[in-house]
Homo-oligomer: A and B are copies of this chain.
Amino acid sequence: MTVVHVLGAAGFAGAQASALLDAHPSLELGQITARADAGRRLRDVAPRYRVEKELTPLDLEAIGRDDMAVVCYPHAEAAAVVSDLADKGVRVVDVSADHRLRDATLYPPVYGFEHPRPDLLGEAVYGLPELYRDRIREARVVANPGCYPEATILSLLPLRDRLTDVVVDAKSGVSGAGRTPSEAVHFSSVTENVSPYKVLRHRHQPEMAQELGTSVAFVPHLMPLDRGLLATCYATLSGPLPTDDELDALYRDFYADHPFVEVVGAPPGMRAVQHTNMAQVFAMSDPAGGRVVAFGVLDNIMKGAAGQAVQNLNLMAGLPETEGLG
C-alpha cells in the first residue's frame, strides 16, 4: 500500500486527514508530524479521532520517493517543503495556499511572501476533481482548494462559462480559522454572535476569481458553530436567464458523474453534509433581479480541506475516488 505522510498533523485539517488515512483501506498512514505537539498521541490532541499514532518531528529523509504527502502547514511555510518533496519525486497534496494561485506575482500582495518556485506554481494542478479530475491523476503537486473557494466554485461550476459577476456571501464555522487560540475564536467572542470579517479583502478572493474567470466580491462571515460552510452566491450571467427548471436540469446533468456533489431540491443547510465529504448545491432564478442565486454547502474540514485531500490522493494513486471517504 502506498504510504502517505501528513505534515502538520496537529491542526484541524491535518488531524482529520490523518484520521481518514488511518482508516483508509488502500492507503497507509506514515509520519504524522507536528512541532509543538510532537511526542503526543494524535488522539490526545484531537480526541474526536481515535488515532493512536504519535506525532513526531518531520523526518524528511525517511520519506520514500514512492510515498505521497499531504502538507497542512500554514501558508508561506509550505512552499519550501513542497519544493523539497517534489524535487525528490514525492507526490504532494498541498493543503496550504502556497500553490493555488497560478500567477506568482499575486503571492507578495495577497500572502505576503515571494514565491520561491514559480515553476511549481505553473505545474501544480488546482485540486478540484469536479474541474480537473484527469490532470489531478497525473499531477506531482496538487493545490488543494481553500474552503471558501471550494464551496463557491462548486455552487457555480455549471454556469462558469456564462458568469459576468459574482457576489459571494459566505458563512463559516469557527474551525475554518484553525486551531491556534486567539481572541477571535474564544468561545465568549463567538457564541451568540455573527460577524463579517475581511470584507472584500479576504485571501480566498483571488482564488475564486482565478477559477471562475470573472469578478468576485467576497464577504465572509464567522458563525457560532464548529464545522460547516455555506456560500450564498449572487451571479449575473451573459445570455438569457435560466429558469428554475433549467437550472435544476443543468446542475443535475453537470454533476451526474461527480460522486461528492449532490444537487438538491431546495436551498441546503449545513446539517446534511457535516462530517462527510459531500457538497450540496442548489441554484434558483431571480428573474426580477436578473440573477441566479446559488448555494453551496460543505464541511470545511472535509470537502473543504482534508476530505478533499484524500479524494485527490485517491485519484493520484489510481484508486476509486470515494475510497475511505464513507
Residues of A within 8 A of B (CB): 12, 43, 47-48, 50, 165, 167, 169, 171, 173-175, 179, 181-183, 185-197, 199-200, 215, 217, 219, 221, 223-228, 230, 232, 234, 267-272, 274-276, 284, 286, 288-289, 291, 293, 295
Contact = CB atoms under 8 A, between A and B. Distances in A.
Contacts of A232: 169, 196, 219, 221
Given A187-B191, A192-B228, A196-B232, 5 more contacts: A167-B234, A167-B289, A181-B182, A185-B188, A194-B270
Contacts of A230: 194, 196, 221
Nearest to A280: B47
Contacts of A187: 174, 185-187, 189-191, 224, 226
A234 B232 CA distance: 13
Nearest to A288: B215
A242 B89 CA distance: 53
B199 A270 contact: no
11 contacts: A47-B272, A50-B276, A171-B194, A174-B191, A181-B183, A194-B228, A194-B269, A200-B286, A215-B288, A215-B289, A275-B275
B288 A199 contact: no
B224 A223 contact: yes
Contacts of A268: 195-196
A181 B169 CA distance: 28
Contact of A188 (B12, B193, B221): B12
